[in-house]
Structure 1
Amino acid sequence: MRLDKFLKVSRLIKRRTLAKEVADQGRITINGNQAKASSTLTAGDELVIKFGQKLVTIHINDLRETVKKEEAESLYTVVKEEKLNN
């Protein structure tokens, strides 16, 4: 599954266009490698996303094309969340 689609389906980022912009700005890595919106994800991958002043590390549990709002969080596990000091 594409990175931008996963971010939208999992509701980590609300819109797919916004997910694409974040990826294109170089704020997401997959297993330590710089990610593009079109990068392919597999279950077990680890994402690191920079949200403003936060760095969030996420482990992907499952990939599904559609998911109900209540089940969206089951697709991933937040490994750690840390604040960035600038």
Structure 2
Amino acid sequence: MRIDLFLKQSRLIKRRTVAKGAATKDLIIVNDKIVKPSYQVKVNDLITLNLGSKQIIVKVTSLIPKKDELMYDLISESFIGQKN
């Protein structure tokens, strides 16, 4: 499954065009590599999303969308530039 389609189906990003744009702008990193919209996602991939001032890291657990089940495990969610 393509990364842009996975992000849309998993509801990490609401629209596929937005997911495709994020990948085109090098805002999506999979396993420490910048990927393009056509990257084929695999189970156990670590996806880092840099969206605005927010960084989200998830681990892919499924490529098949199921009702009431997430397709990923949330590893971390943080705001870039946040002071502790």
Q: Same fold (TM over 0.5)?
A: yes
The equivalent residue for 1:58 is 58
Structure 1 residues not aligned, in runs of 5+: none
The equivalent residue for 1:80 is 76
More helix by share: 1
Q: Taking structure 2 as the reference length, what is the TM-score of the superposition?
A: 0.90
Partners of 1:75 and 1:27 in 2: CA distance: 20
Structure 2 residues not aligned, in runs of 5+: none
Task: Indicate the percent of aligned positions where both proteins have the same amino acid.
Answer: 35
| Bigger relative contact order, structure 1 or 2 (CA pairs below 8 A, ≥6 apart) | 1
Please list every run of at least 4 consecutive aligned residues from structure 1 whose deviation after the TM superposition is greater than 4 angstroms: none
1:1-80 aligned within 5 A: 1-64=1-64, 66-68=65-67, 70-71=68-69, 74-80=70-76
Letter paired with 1:5: L
Per-residue CA shift, 1:37-61, capped at 9, x if unaligned?
A: 1001100000000121011110000
Per-residue CA shift, 1:54-84, capped at 9, x if unaligned?
A: 11110000101x443x33xx21011011211
**How many pairs does the alignment contain?**
82
Partners of 2:25 and 2:66 in 1: CA distance: 27
Q: Taking structure 1 as the reference length, what is the TM-score of the superposition?
A: 0.88
Partners of 1:18 and 1:39 in 2: CA distance: 15
SS in 2 for 1:26: coil
